[in-house]
Amino acid sequence: MITIDHPPANAWNLAAMQSFEKTLELVEEDRDVRAVILTGAGEKFFSAGFDVSDPGDPAETSHMGRTLWKRVDRFPKPTIAAINGYALGGGLELAMACHFRLMIDSPNISLGLTELNLGIIPGWGGTQRLPRLVGRARALDMILFSRRIDAQEALASGLVNEIKPAGELMNRAFELAETLARRPPIAVKCVLRAIAAGLYEGLEAGLEVEEQGAILVRSTKDREEGFSAFREKREPVFTGE
């Protein structure tokens, strides 16, 4: 699990970005990690986005935000955003880059891309990912009017996959991560890579990467295990080989 821990609002400055980058590298290289949960420290904020009080280089911070959020979007292992508090601006953009989003069901917590209130725009992927999740009209409404939505509306719009009471959010996140961890790692990686290629490079590129993945998994031990388990009517045990 990766915890965004930069009080009071878990906002992002240059140092936080650099630390996050190192953490992503470690998680990606660790073969024992098969799914990743991202959440915020404390009980009020998942992340409030860019740290406007950052004395560092805001241009470099923003560049890293765009780059790292894209890396999360294209991460080779499933990522789950456990939205335990406010997710605003770059914080919501990070959650949208994750493969799954779970949110605390509380009327006191909201999501939004509120950058226009500051005279700027969502610059870490928000203008592209939000319309893909909720549709163009709703995305324009949220961005142009800096409108926040609660958990119920987020679920109805497709922005989050599930909502849970506060006491159940992390349990559900770990349950989902454990289920994903039992899936065949090489096949999971191939699926994530193919979907990302289709979104970023287009249908033809996505189909090409899909074909490459289909060829690759044919020679894996996980494939043999999957077929054996099916014939023997038991649960497969995938090793990532």
Look up the pTM and report it. Answer: 0.93
pLDDT tens digits, residue range 94-105?
999 999 999 999
Is the preceding peptide bond at 8 cis, omega within 30 degrees of 0? yes
What is the rounded distance in angstroms from the CA atom of residue 62 to the CA atom of residue 11? 12
- Residue numbers of the chain with a pLDDT score lower than 50: none
pLDDT recorded at residue 194: 97
| Catalytic residue status for 93 | yes
Q: What is the pLDDT, as a whole number, of residue 166?
A: 87
How far, in Å, CA of 208 to CA of 198, rounded? 9
pLDDT for the residue 69: 97
| Cα 99 to Cα 161: distance, rounded to the nearest angstrom | 10
Annotated catalytic, 162?
no
Catalytic, out of 21, 25, 60, 93: 93
Residue 147: what pLDDT? 96
Q: For position 76, what pLDDT does the model report?
A: 96
Among 182, 183, 186, which residue's Cα sits nearest to residue 220?
Answer: 186
As given in the structure block, the two tokens for residue 175 are 């349950």
Give dist(CA 213, CA 216) in Å, integer. Answer: 5
Instruction: Give the pLDDT confidence score for residue 19 in this predicted structure.
Output: 94
**CA 39 and chain centroid, separation:** 10
The catalytic residue among 115, 168, 204, 232 is 115
> What is residue 52's predicted lDDT score, i.e. its pLDDT?
80
